[in-house]
Structure 1
């Protein structure tokens, strides 16, 4: 039976009340329902991105009291932080993976800036600290950039891609767009076992494309309030656990099942806790 990594991104970018205990409780419930990775950004109490890891330290401490979910901390997000501030999660002992962004893109009315010098600095630091990147790509050209980065820095194989769709200004969340991304990914990285890919959809209103991504070979799905709080038929949910439960049920309908956290660590060659 094929196993899929369910990643939960629990905190909305519009959240202005960051409560470590509340976030941890939500994540723990998601883990119980099948989530094997948590994706978090470093935020202050008002939700603003910050290099100060204080609230993140507290959040992870609460999470670790109850579960072994793989901890991924983002090095990105639209902000005015410098790259040295953005890479602070690489140095935290509890960080196992980091999301890596390799190019600039319009996200709605914002410009998400990732100049190549900053990208290379981030890659150098995450490799030095032995953190696994989940590489978020929003456009086809970013896949080529990852190929160039791999030739220079030599990522640990397999390289995990998060193919991102649905933001205003980038690839739309359509089957054709996903097919183009997938085909170009394997054209650029033809060696078997070199890459894995997952699906992330911003502004999602249902699970239609999530199911299509599974049918097309995704090995991971990211769901959570950071991207959307919608279930099927435009129904909004109040907890991230509802999203993970729905995703786990979708997997079982397709004769798949969620990976455990240790299976994710094995897949990505992350040291066991």
Structure 2
């Protein structure tokens, strides 16, 4: 495979000043630099996860007005929201894809709770609303759980897994952990890489060499450009990812190419 989708997750969980126009402007720059998907959460003005879609909808309208980037919104994040409340982005016409979290996990000292009853509710709503799932897996048990769900539910092919490495208390960002996770991915599925708390691009490069179809980059995971340099914009992270792809004889997918390759329904 010589093309890879770059997904940008531009808003850090520590960001306490959510301004739709600023986020949209940066997303547009990331799109111009090679990002084909944007990953966002439903947040209020102070950065807290919420059920109020107003700021997010404003952000998405601004993004869609000037670009064709694929819009993905999370159904997760550590919070006290119920699974019904977490599913509010599924009902937005501007949202094309949503994260699907299929098991509980440690995120540092926090516990990210995804009991199987909640997972099944989210799957049901996601399929009912014809949204494309990106299955976030933090350890091998999550992959096995999703394989069982794939036997029970009629997911549109291909199912996309995102291997998430680097959170304290979960699978480490090592070649050994990456290889073990890849071995568990169903052969008919596709997978990509998310490196939380990243300080360099070594695991991303390793994943690309092992067949990753997607790379997620952005402040939600890390603002490190290299081990000694942080940046105040997501754009240099996307640009570096695009350069890495080209150095490996690959290219960033356009949004249109990604929609076709991952079978994402156009809105």
TM-score, length of structure 1 as denominator length: 0.96
Q: Please state if 1:199 is matched with 2:173.
A: no
Equivalent residues of 2:131, 2:265 under 8 A apart:
no
Structure-to-structure mapping, 1:224-235, within 5 angstroms:
224-235=218-229
Equivalent-residue separation in structure 2 for 1:261 and 1:124 (angstroms): 26
- 1:159 Cα deviation (Å)? 0.5
Q: Deviations over 1:144-176 (max 9, x none)?
A: 110111111121111000000000000000001
Q: Contact (CA 8 Å) 1:262, 1:272: kept in 2 or not?
A: no
From 228, 233, 253, give the equivalent of 1:259: 253
In structure 2, the partner of 1:250 is: 244
Matches within 5 A, 1:105-144: 105-144=105-144
Structure 2 unaligned regions, length at least 5? none
Per-residue CA deviation, residues 74-104 of structure 1 (Å, 9 max, x unaligned), is: 0000000001100011000011000010000
The superposition leaves residues 91-128 of structure 1 with CA deviations (integer Å, 9 ceiling, x where unpaired) of 00011000010000111000000000000000000000
Helix, strand or coil at the partner of 2:146: helix
Q: Tell me the alpha carbon deviations over residues 121-141 of structure 1, each in whole angstroms, 9 at most, x when there is no partner.
A: 000000000000000000101
Whole-angstrom distance in 2 between the partners of 1:89 and 1:203:
26
Q: Tell me whether 1:44 sits opposite 2:38 in the alignment.
A: no
SS in 2 for 1:65: helix
Q: How does 1:26-175 map to 2 (within 5 A)?
A: 26-175=26-175
Say whether the 8 Å CA contact 2:10–2:218 is kept in structure 1: yes
Query: Residue 17 of structure 2 contacts residue 45 of structure 2 at CA under 8 Å; is this kept in 1?
Result: yes
- Shift in Å, 1:234: 2.6
Q: Post-superposition shift, 1:55?
A: 0.3
Q: What is aligned with 2:265? A: 271
Please give the alpha-carbon distance, in whole angstroms, between the structure 2 residues aligned to 1:178 and 1:198: 11
User: 3-state SS of the aligned residue for 1:227?
Assistant: coil
Task: Give CA deviations for 1:194-235 in whole Å, capped at 9, x if unaligned.
Answer: 200000011000111111110011010000000000012331
Contact persistence 1:206–1:234 (CA under 8 A):
no
Q: Which runs of 5+ in 1 are unaligned?
A: none
Q: 1:9 touches 1:226 (CA, 8 Å); kept in 2? A: yes
Give the Cα–Cα distance (whole angstroms) in 2 for the partners of residues 5 and 44 of structure 1.
28
Query: d(CA) in 2 for partners of 1:157 and 1:86?
Result: 24
1:223 corresponds to 2:217: yes
Asked if structure 1 preserves the Cα contact closer than 8 Å seen for 2:11 and 2:220, the reply is: yes
Is 2:205 the counterpart of 1:211?
A: yes
Matches of 2:101 and 2:91, distance apart in 1: 18
Question: 1:15 is matched with which residue?
Answer: 15
- 3-state SS, counterpart of residue 39 of structure 1: strand
Distance, in Å, in 2 between the alignment partners of 1:176 and 1:148 is 24
